[in-house]
């Protein structure tokens, strides 16, 4: 569906951006807008989707009340499948992970508008490169000649950011200085290191925090070799061609949701989130587009 190319970030020719906000405009012609009876929602596959179906159930009930639509949870298995589903019109509302947000915007017509944040409005997570005690890897340079687990090529913390940082700060490149392997998801990478299947991995520390809180892994099974700057987290948005009224109601559902006592609070409170806040793809994802540029990657939408 999409392949790396050397070019600046731009939308697919399928979409227009007359206001310069870097996201697809809502079609001007009402005939090109859609108003589905059932809204399909998907959450980024950072972990097993089965973990999150129940977590999101209460929120989706709230969205149903606000929009007057049925809302169905769609368990996606990969970032590529999630983006393709939105591009093809099978997905209407979704949270896309940090690294795949630019591809979802450019190729899938995503209009992101919200992100989870702490009660004080702060947000984000850090990329960590981790190992395990006794691995023989005490610092980043010790990864040379070993394997490093990434998640997927569309993940910011699972691939893009560590690739750029290892090259710029440590003069290390995959294939030349270490063997890259791909686990598919952050929980796979974290479990892989904890179980000593991978000597090192690049992961999002927000996922690690939630797994520790659920007692899936313990911190004493892991060592941290590197911690990055703070990045924006999962961006939530709508398909560009939903009617303006429906898009407004979906936004209302996000910003009116009561977190107190909810399954979202129970799960995402483990990594500090307590509310949805408004975001700007142009401003808040600038650092991510710069990482793409440093990696020589933007997206050629097919």
pTM: 0.82
Compute the distance between CA of residue 254 and CA of residue 258 in angstroms, rounded to an integer: 9
User: Which pLDDT tens digit goes with each residue over 8-17?
Assistant: 788 999 999 9
**Sign for the pseudo-dihedral over CA of 39, 43, 48, 50:** negative
What pLDDT shows up at residue 236?
A: 98
Compute the distance between CA of residue 201 and CA of residue 180 in angstroms, rounded to an integer: 9
What pLDDT shows up at residue 298?
A: 61
Q: pLDDT under 70 in the chain at which residues? A: 1-7, 298-299, 302
Compute the distance between CA of residue 289 and CA of residue 282 in angstroms, rounded to an integer: 9
Compute the distance between CA of residue 116 and CA of residue 275 in angstroms, rounded to an integer: 6
What pLDDT shows up at residue 46?
A: 72
Q: What is the greatest pairwise CA distance in the chain?
A: 62
What pLDDT shows up at residue 297?
A: 72
């Amino acid at each position: 569906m999409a392949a790396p190319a050397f070019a600046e970030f731009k939308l697919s020719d399928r979409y227009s951006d007359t206001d310069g906000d870097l996201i697809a405009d809502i079609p001007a012609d009402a005939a090109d807008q859609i108003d589905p009876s059932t809204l399909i929602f998907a959450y980024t596959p950072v972990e097993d989707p089965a973990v999150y179906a129940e977590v999101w159930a209460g929120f989706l009930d709230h969205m149903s009340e606000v929009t007057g639509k049925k809302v169905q949870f769609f368990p996606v298995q990969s970032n590529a499948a999630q983006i393709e589903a939105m591009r093809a019109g099978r997905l209407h509302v979704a949270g896309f992970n940090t690294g795949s947000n630019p591809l979802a915007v450019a190729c899938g017509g995503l209009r992101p508008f919200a992100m989870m944040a702490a009660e004080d409005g702060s947000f984000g997570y850090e990329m960590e490169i981790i190992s395990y005690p006794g691995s023989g890897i005490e610092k980043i340079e010790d990864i040379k000649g070993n394997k490093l687990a990434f998640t997927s090529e569309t993940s910011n913390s699972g691939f893009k950011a560590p690739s750029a940082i290892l090259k710029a700060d440590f003069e290390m490149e995959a294939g030349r200085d270490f063997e890259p392997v791909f686990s598919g998801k952050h929980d796979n990478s974290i479990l892989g290191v904890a179980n000593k299947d991978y000597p090192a991995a690049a992961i999002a520390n927000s996922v690690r925090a939630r797994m520790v809180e659920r007692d899936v892994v313990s911190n004493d099974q892991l060592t941290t070799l590197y911690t990055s700057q703070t990045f924006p987290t999962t961006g939530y948005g709508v398909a560009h061609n939903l009617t303006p009224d429906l898009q407004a109601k979906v936004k209302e559902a996000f910003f009116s949701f009561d977190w107190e006592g909810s399954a979202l609070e129970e799960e995402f409170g483990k990594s500090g989130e307590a509310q949805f806040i408004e975001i700007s793809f142009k401003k808040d994802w600038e650092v991510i587009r710069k990482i793409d540029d440093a990696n020589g990657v933007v997206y050629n939408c097919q």
